[in-house]
Every structure is written in structure tokens, then in C-alpha cells.
Structure 1
């Protein structure tokens, strides 16, 4: 499901880079083998492989094959620390509803209408958006909406995710603010992306 592809594992560039490096070195490694150095079990590696697909770096979560954009990122920023890489990930997650529906909704719809918001505001509007998929899983007050909302907010406030982009900041314990920052990208082709790294 493109709504809950992440499970309980949020976007974490350190983990993504580690899994990507291990995967490219040992393409046939099992999820269990990939996860062991991080102290986790197979679902950890499976979810971060999916994150690498959703952010446009891997072609498939079943194969160790970079996209053409992923090849540019790997050759310029294998640790996934560069601001260009972070903006690329942001665009991949938010510009195609079919790829990551909750991220698309959050950035393209919710934030455009809510300059400041609470987690409860996000949960309630996310429920309205997602209920057509499954009333059981996405009804108002469902645990899944809470988990997805948490991952969305963490993605744009935690440093190990995309917090450095300044899209969302924490106002206090219960309130967040959309900053509408100046963005880099999106990029239409790998050559243009490469130039953004200074190549």
C-alpha cells in the first residue's frame, strides 16, 4: 500500500545510506543479513529498501539496481547528506500521489491550507483523505492515522530525515508551522541533477 509503505520505520537517511551501501556491495544478501549490522531484523531492511524506492534511488525493493537519478546520487552523495539529495527525496515523495499518497497529501494539500497546525489537525484531515481506501484502517481516531501523521511530521522535523530543509518547524509541544521555504528542484533529468551537485 502506498499509504503505509513505511510501517513503523520513518525516513532516516543514515539507515537508508547504510542499507544502500550494503545492498550494492552484496546484491544477493537477504533482508536478515542486511539488517543484522543495525541491530534489527528483516522488516527493517525491507522497509528501508522501500524508502529507497519511494525516494527515487532504487528501481525496485526486490533488486539492487539504481535508477538513473540514483546513479547520480550514489556517485555524488552516497551518504545522502547533501541538500540537493534531500530536496530530490522530498520531490519524489510528494509530487506523485501514486508513489506516496500521504506525503503527496501532506505537502500538496494539507500544508497549503494550514500554515500552523497540530498533530490532531493532521490526523483528522488525513482520516478524511484516506477513508475511501478503508474505513476500518483510516477512520477518524484510528491508530494507523496516528502512526502515519507521526511519520509525516518526523520526516520534516528530524535532522536524520528532511528536517534540515525547513519545510516544517516545531512551534511548541502541540503546534507546528509550515514555512514555505525556497526549494531546489525538481529535476527533469539526471544530467540536470548532476549539475546541481556541481558537476
Structure 2
């Protein structure tokens, strides 16, 4: 369980690129006294970025000989983003970052709770704080300070929703994840928020494929799952992307038709709604390669990035 480790700083444009480059060059970068000078950020911002790199699944942290902490780019995600989209220009990368953030129960508990546990689609900030506090206490047998929850919820909202307030130059740098349009303010009451459904046309089916495989391998530990599990189980695409039954089934059939080599199959015989998911070694890297190869070809032929 972790709350308010972001020092009240949401992800700014360009931050994750700075983090990728820094860790790639020096595994001890975030532990050096001059890190803030080299990044051109305040000391608290540097600590926030160190946390965001781990919360988004781009990096991890471990101890080496001599008990010194070091950071590293995760092999199956951070390294692939460094190779293919280190400037975070691709919309697919943002969806993948959102997935890793929203499924990170240990490092980003508020983000995990909102997308996987909280069921309301229309809510106020006070609703989130109250129910998040109850969940944390019941789940971890520990009461979290209201100030920490308040900072976390503020940061969560700014992760997905641009501000309409008069802000300082630093704060006008919105979080890249706002472009996913997952949250919106009510037109009649700005204290009310809505969790938007994701239209299947907004998201690359290969991104969904990657997330399903990640869940099937690391959580389900099975290559055979049900549609209901993919829609309702924690850390699945149904909850994290707010997909409905029709959208998810359409995406799965699209994967079967357009990428048969991946091995996704939907069996709706007798209403069973079984999905066969590839879980062999290297499947997630294979899907990421398809995502970025496709984008590279689109760019070379003068198409538009998605």
C-alpha cells in the first residue's frame, strides 16, 4: 500500500522521457545529490519522478552489493518503450502506461482502487476520499491520514483531467494521460466528475491484447479465461479501460481476424464465452513489437500516429 508518494506532483509532459534517459545512463541517478540539477527539476520533483517511473511500470528499484539502491528499466516494458517511443509520442504508449499505473496496487494504491474497486461512474472528490479511506482501512488494517488521501485524490484527478483554473507556468504542463479522456467534469457542476466509457475505436486492439496477456500470465496463470473475468476481475481491461461486453468481444474477434498468429480465440459455444489467451514466453514482447512496427510503417507512409 502506498499513498502520496508523488509529493503532490502529477506526471508532467516530458518527465517520463527524462526518467528513461537518466536510468538508462546511470542506475544510481535518482540517488545522487545533483540529480535535480541535471534534470532541471526541484528536489521534490525528482523524488516524485523516481516514484512515477516505478508506479507506471517503466522502472524498478532494487538493492545491489553494499546495500545501495539502484533503478533499472523493466525488461518487458521500460526497455521496450526506450527502444520504440522514449519521447512518449505514441498514444498506444499512454494506454500502456495507464494500464500499468492502474494495476499497480502496491505503488499506486489510489489509482488501482479507483479503476478496479470503486464502482461509481459519477462522483465527487469527497465521495472518493470517503470510500478510499474505508477500503484502505478494511484491506490493509491501517488508517491512512486524510491529508495523504486528499493529496492522492487531487493528484489522481490531475492525472486524467486538465485543470480549468488559473495556474503557475509549471502547473500548466498537463499530464499526458489527460489525452485519454477517461475523466470529464460535469457541464453543470464542476465538482462532479464522470468516468468515461472507452469507445473501441479509441484504442488499438494490440494494446488490449498486451494487457490481457499480462493479466493472464501474472494474475490468472492460465491461457483460458472467461469474458466475464476480463470484464469484472481486478487488473483486467474491462475495468481499467471501462470497456463494455460488446466492445471487448468486438476487439477479441478483431484480434483473431487480423492477428491470427497471436492465438486469441473466443469460444461462445453454449454461452460459455471462453477466451483462449496466448501465454507463452515472449508473447508480450511480440505484441509490443507488432504495436510499434505498425506505428513505424504508418509514420513512414505519411499516416497519422494514434
TM-score interval (norm. to shorter): 0.7 to 0.9
1:71 Cα offset (Å): 1.2
- The Cα offsets for residues 47-70 of structure 1, whole Å up to 9 and x where unpaired, read as 212211121111327434211211
Q: 1:32 to 1:79 in 2, by over 3 A?
A: farther
- The Cα offsets for residues 56-107 of structure 1, whole Å up to 9 and x where unpaired, read as 1113274342112111111111112321111111111222423422111101
Q: Distance in 2 between matches of 1:49 and 1:150?
A: 19
Which residue in 2 is equivalent to 1:50?
Answer: 51
Q: More strand by proportion, 1 or 2?
A: 2
1:169 and 2:169 matched: no
Which residue in 2 is equivalent to 1:25?
Answer: 25
Select the structure of larger CA radius of gyration.
2
- Give the match's secondary structure for 1:114: coil
**Conserved? CA contact 1:34–1:45, under 8 Å:** yes
Instruction: State the superposition RMSD in angstroms.
Output: 2.3
Which residue in 1 is equivalent to 2:160?
Answer: 156
1:31 Cα offset (Å): 4.0
Q: 1:44 to 1:88 in 2, by over 3 A?
A: same
Q: 1:119 to 1:96 in 2, by over 3 A?
A: same
**Conserved? CA contact 1:97–1:104, under 8 Å:** yes
Q: Distance in 2 between matches of 1:129 and 1:89?
A: 24
1:148 Cα offset (Å): 0.9
Gaps of 5+ in 1: none
- The Cα offsets for residues 22-52 of structure 1, whole Å up to 9 and x where unpaired, read as 33234443443221242412x4223212211
Please identify runs of 4+ aligned residues in structure 1 that moved more than 4 A: none
Which residue in 2 is equivalent to 1:75?
Answer: 83
Gaps of 5+ in 2: 63-68, 163-173, 214-283, 295-306
1:186 Cα offset (Å): 5.5
**Conserved? CA contact 1:80–1:86, under 8 Å:** yes
Q: Distance in 1 between matches of 2:71 and 2:114?
A: 30
Match of 1:124 among 130, 149, 162: 130
**Conserved? CA contact 2:7–2:47, under 8 Å:** no
What TM-score, normalized to structure 1? Answer: 0.84
Q: Distance in 2 between matches of 1:2 and 1:176?
A: 24
1:34 and 2:49 matched: no
- The Cα offsets for residues 119-173 of structure 1, whole Å up to 9 and x where unpaired, read as 11111111111234432x34xxx21111111111111114424111111112242
Q: Distance in 2 between matches of 1:101 and 1:64?
A: 21
**Conserved? CA contact 1:23–1:34, under 8 Å:** no
| Count of aligned positions | 192
